[in-house]
A = this chain, B = another copy of it.
Amino acid sequence: MNADPILRPSPISASVDFDADGIQHGHLRLPWSRDDSAWGSVMIPVTVVKHGEGPTALLTGANHGDEYEGPIALFDLARTLRAEAVSGRVIIVPALNYPAFRAAKRTSPIDKGNLNRSFPGRPDGSVTEKIADYVTRSLLPLADIVLDFHSGGRTLDFLPYAAAHELPDKAQEDRCFAAVAAFSAPWSMRMIEIDAVGMFDTTAEMAGKVFVTTELGGGGTATARSAGIAKRGVANLLRHAGILAGRPELGETRWLDMPSSDCFGFSPEEGLVEFLKDLGEPVAKGEVFARIYPLGHTGLAPYEHRAALDGLLAARHFPGLVKAGDCLSVIATTAENA
């Protein structure tokens, strides 16, 4: 209760040996006592592949439980990767916030925990905080390069991009953006995180790791196209790191920028949303590109949502209805706009 939590061991135990050669499929077991199982556990699937000399990549999906490109690419990788193909080590956790993933929710149904706001975590905290703590203290120290998959989830939809953050250590930043380029998504993003507290990103970057994240679609689904981007991207990254042989298969990528908080458009009204532009289409400052109809009456004028800057529609609210305060749109700029 009063001891420094950092001194307490994690309650999570792994059924795999991260130092053993070959392929192991197992679980991270997190004890979770509850009304319907006094001595129950959360069982997070994990795969470790270790062979030869080389760096360690930590690959994680379903940090948010309703984002699917990462889990698809990683469940696929976990069953198809051959140990002999690896130089170094690959740690695969396809569904990091496993309770959220099983519930098809952004956050954990156990504690409403948003894993990506729970870092660095606590060994004596909630289930979500315990997962974050295990990543921070047990998995991250093993890794040289980290890929954490994201998409928009049920309520947002994104142009598919890989991304890294601008960092104080420019050499680290360069390594991160080189990894983003190697991922080779159709779009790539330079991010300045305004509120980085609690993120896996921040924790990994502060630990000096090469960290790559993505937004590869959304809506609570994955398409053949978006899953394909994820699968190619992770293979590219492993090649880039030298863990897999060969060179990344590079495709065309366009670089995006979010220059200010004006990029984010919030809805002041609830209602039925009609977008007049789709993802990737250009919008001009002042242009009405979405309307919000009041739900209970016909014949009323809809609220008109206008662009605060020139750019293209990089992300949008996904569900057909919108609540007051929801993020309705993200407008990004490109080299073409700049």
Contact = CB atoms under 8 A, between A and B. Distances in A.
Contacts of A75: 272, 293, 298, 302
Nearest to A4: B2
Contacts of A8: 197
Contacts of A269: 296
Contact of A43 (B296, B318, B319, B327): B296
Given A117-B33, A320-B220, A297 B1 contact: no
Most buried by B among A34, A38, A43: A38
Contacts of A264: 39
Contacts of A39: 155-156, 264, 326-327
Given A43-B325, A156-B38, A275-B224, A106 B298 contact: no
A128 interface: no
A300 interface: yes
A160 to B, nearest CB: 13
A296 B324 contact: yes
B104 A319 contact: yes
A144 interface: no
A39 B79 CA distance: 30
A153 B37 CA distance: 9
Interface in A245-259: none
> Quick one: copies of this chain in the complex?
6
Interface in A14-34: 23, 25, 27, 29, 32-34
18 contacts: A1-B120, A1-B198, A11-B195, A29-B266, A33-B107, A35-B154, A37-B155, A38-B153, A41-B325, A43-B296, A75-B298, A78-B298, A79-B298, A92-B298, A95-B295, A219-B219, A220-B320, A224-B275
Contacts of A82: none
A85 B178 CA distance: 60
A220 B122 CA distance: 32
A88 interface: no
Interface string A166-184: 0000000000000000000
Closest CB pairs A-B (n = 4) = A41-B325, A25-B299, A68-B320, A39-B327
A321 B29 CA distance: 19
A157 B39 CA distance: 11
A101 B295 contact: yes
A142 to B, nearest CB: 17
Contacts of A275: 222-224, 227
